[in-house]
Amino acid sequence: MTPENNDNTRINAPLLDSVNVWFEKLYEPTMYYMLKYGGRLDEKLLEKAVLLTIEADPYLSSRYLETEDEAFWEKMPKSSFKPYFTMQKYPKEITEIFSNPPKPLDVRSAPQVRLDLYRDEGPRGDILIFVGHHGFADAHGNISVASAVMETYIRLAEDPTYVPKYRGWYPRDTKSIPDRFTREQREEAAKLTEISFEPNWSFVCGDVSRGNTFDYTGKYPRGGPRFSVRTISPENFRKIKAFGKRNGATINDLTVGAFLISLLKSCGCVSDEKSPKCVLTAGDIRRYYGFDGDNPMNMSTAFTVTAVCDENTPVKAIIPKISETVRRHRNGIMGLGFICGVEKIRESGLKALRDYYNFHMDKGLSECTSNPVFSNIGILDTRGYDTVPSSASDGTRTPIRLENALFMPVISHAPGFSVIVSTYGESMTLISGYEEANTDRGRVEALLADMEERLIRESENT
């Protein structure tokens, strides 16, 4: 397929795109991928690289729109694009970016990426922040967009006439997945799907199932998006990895367990048979169903992790239960039960599925409940752009090194709360996005600290 010359073209939007757009009731779906370099890049070449990447992918150059019973990606002409490249003032401290994140992206306008370049007047190197939207792609999808831009930038420095290959309308819908399996396989997958749309607690108000509710609209206003970030040192990260290896657990298993227990401590409640508490997590299904990992899309399905425990329970004690749950979803037909469930509802039309999600989201908001969310982005693979060409202001380009990379997730609205984990180099970072007007910063940072301290303490003693 070849690009159309400024002709608007529509294609049906995948189910998971619509679902992640609707979640804007629960969080601001914008996500950020930050790269910090040790020198100056060529801003004109960067801007060109962003535009070429957008033009090479019809989804990137589209806007999302819905009718009563259908959703589409509509390819838009360049003349209608919102800014896709901006220059920003360099912060005095990098923490200022966490307290004042870049502007969000509008999924209902094109394009679906923006690059904000932060430049210092002095010797400090450039900071690049790629801005994307969960309605367009999940974390891995948005990172793949950034990778495509950086690859194009590097190629342009070598050959100014370079143009990336046009991707066309690549397949990114889950609708056909259930048809690949027998009825027995689909029924078995449904039994393994542990996802609850009946949240019974939240970080903001604790154990609401025991009467500790609050008036969300009155007591907890909206506003003040920010991130709290805690980076675990290479030394402590090595200890935690060794602890997991001794106990047959992955880093994902350990951190989701620590998250659940630290939440119980912060909320002053327990997870027992009468009032089980769970956290929502997700798994990437790309490789299970043969989707191209380089094409940005939403390919993460949710499931719940529950354990009977309280704030004094060792992480080690609940690891077998957590590991078993995660393995059930990662071995075999991962995500099939979730996909079959929502596809069955969609058979009645998009409106039926939208109403289903709205009912459960509105119920949680009215009752001030929202199961907390945990996501492990994994290792940030920056090998393709660890070294990039500098600007050529003096007529020559020199290689500059990447110094740090960080993925910043969605901003949760109260009563929702989330913690995201990612690894870069030898360090692991815990990060939470929230609204400071209704979620206490000190409490969030105490929870992140408790997660780290809990893992280190057990890694040294067991």
pLDDT range class, residue 8, cuts 50, 70, 90: low
Task: Report the percent of the chain where pLDDT is more than 90.
Answer: 64
Please check whether residues 303 and 354 belong to one and the same domain.
Answer: yes
Task: Work out the average pLDDT over 104-117.
Answer: 98
- 381-408 pLDDT, tens digit per residue, is 999 999 999 987 767 899 999 999 999 9
Q: Using one digit for the tens of pLDDT, what is the confidence trace for 299-341?
A: 988 888 999 999 999 999 999 999 988 887 776 567 788 888 8
Q: Are residues 132 and 216 in the same domain?
A: no
Q: Looking at the domain assignment, is residue 277 inside a domain? A: yes
Do 323 and 421 belong together in one domain? yes
Does one domain contain both 312 and 425? yes
Say if residue 30 is in the same domain as residue 85: yes
78 part of a folded domain: yes
Does residue 236 lie within any of the structural domains? Answer: yes
The three-state DSSP-derived secondary structure of the chain is CCCCCCCCCEEECCHHHHHHHHHHHCEECEEEEEEEECCCCCHHHHHHHHHHHHHCCCCCCEEEEECCCCEEEEECCHHHCCCCEEEEECCCCCHHHHHCCCCCCCCCCCCCCEEEEEECCCCCCCEEEEEEECCCCCHHHHHHHHHHHHHHHHHHHHCCCCCCCCCCCCCCCCCCHHHHCCHHHHHHHHHHCCCCCCCCCECCCECHHHCCCCCHHHHCCCCCEEEEEEEECHHHHHHHHHHHHHCCCCHHHHHHHHHHHHHHHHHCCCECCCCCCEEEEEEECHHHCCCCCCCCCCCEEEEEEECCECCCCCHHHHHHHHHHHHHHHHCCCCCHHHHHHHHHHHCCCHHHHHHHHHHHHHHHHHCCCCCCEEEEEEECCCHHHCEEECCCCCCCCCEEEEEEEEEECCEECCCCCEEEEEEECCEEEEEEEEECCCCCHHHHHHHHHHHHHHHHHHHHHC
Pick the range with the lowest mean pLDDT from 34-38, 223-227, 330-334. 330-334
Question: Residue 387: inside a domain, yes or no?
Answer: no
Where residue 290 falls among pLDDT bands split at 50, 70, 90?
A: confident
Q: What is the mean pLDDT of the chain?
A: 89
Q: Could you tell me the CATH number of the domain that includes residue 420? A: 3.30.559.30
The pLDDT of residue 226? 96
109 and 225 in a common domain: no
- Least confident interval from 8-22, 196-210, 255-269, 432-446: 196-210
- CATH no. for residue 43? 3.30.559.10
pLDDT digits (tens, 9 = 90+) for 346-383: 788 889 889 988 888 888 887 778 889 999 999 999 99
Q: What is the pLDDT of residue 212?
A: 47
| Same domain flag for 453 and 310 | yes
Q: Residues 140, 227: one domain?
A: no
What's the average model confidence in pLDDT over 241-253? 95
Residue 110 lies in a domain: yes
How many domains does one find in the chain? 2
242 in the same domain as 123: no
Range of the domain at 17: 10-158
Residue 26 within any structural domain of the chain: yes
- Residue 109 included in any domain: yes
**One domain for residues 274 and 354:** yes
Same domain, 104 and 199: no
Same domain for 58 and 137? yes
pTM of the full predicted structure?
Answer: 0.93
